[in-house]
Amino acid sequence: MRILIVAHQTIGGAALEQAIADRMAAGADEFHLVVPVRGDDVDPNLATMVVPGFEDGGMPPAQSMAPNPRVQAAQRVAFGIEWLERLGADATGEVGPADDVDAVLEAIARHPADEIIVSTLERNLSRWLRLDLPSRLGRKVDVPVVVVSASGSDD
């Protein structure tokens, strides 16, 4: 079973960790993480960058991340791959374009999945839920789209 995860701030949180553990227990063996670039000032030609497995073993804390949205997304992907591998998952990842739907559609075209997890902040803080990303994705793909919302303690 292959799972595509779209996430940003919630990577490493308890709710997403539980969702990953549940899927692994049910036989999921491949996880692909996509982190859309954030920000309106992104050159669309530079927005997509595939990141190989994270190898240098370190991740700067969120507050020290580079302000460039593409670099920040790449750092989140690298951290996410390392985190997923520590959980025992076979993980890959990529930075996607700023349009969240396009980011997922481009990723799933290259990495077919049996399920999409939208890992987001709690409802009152979530831009993706305000934009109805899960329903918009559900109309475009033929696989289940599941929302995993972080609690305030995950952040």
Residues 62-100: tens digit of each pLDDT: 444 457 899 999 999 999 999 999 999 999 999 999 999
Domain count, the chain: 1
Structure tokens at 79: 């951290």
Domain presence at residue 52: yes
Mean pLDDT of 113-124: 91
Residues 37-64: tens digit of each pLDDT: 986 434 444 334 333 333 344 444 444 4
Predicted structure pTM score: 0.79
Domain presence at residue 105: yes
Domain presence at residue 13: no
Domain presence at residue 93: yes
pLDDT band at 13; cut points 50, 70, 90: very high
Domain presence at residue 26: no
Q: Which residue has the higher pLDDT, 115 or 45?
A: 115
Domain presence at residue 155: no
pLDDT band at 130; cut points 50, 70, 90: confident
Structural domain containing residue 98: 38-113
Share of the chain above pLDDT 70, in %: 79
Own/partner pairs, 44-49, CB within 8 angstroms, 24+ separation: 44/97, 44/98, 46/70, 47/95, 47/96, 47/97, 47/98, 48/94, 48/95, 48/96, 48/97, 48/106, 49/74, 49/94, 49/95
Mean pLDDT of 7-36: 95
Domain presence at residue 118: no
Tell me what the pLDDT averaged over the chain comes to. 82
Domain presence at residue 147: no
pLDDT score, position 44: 42
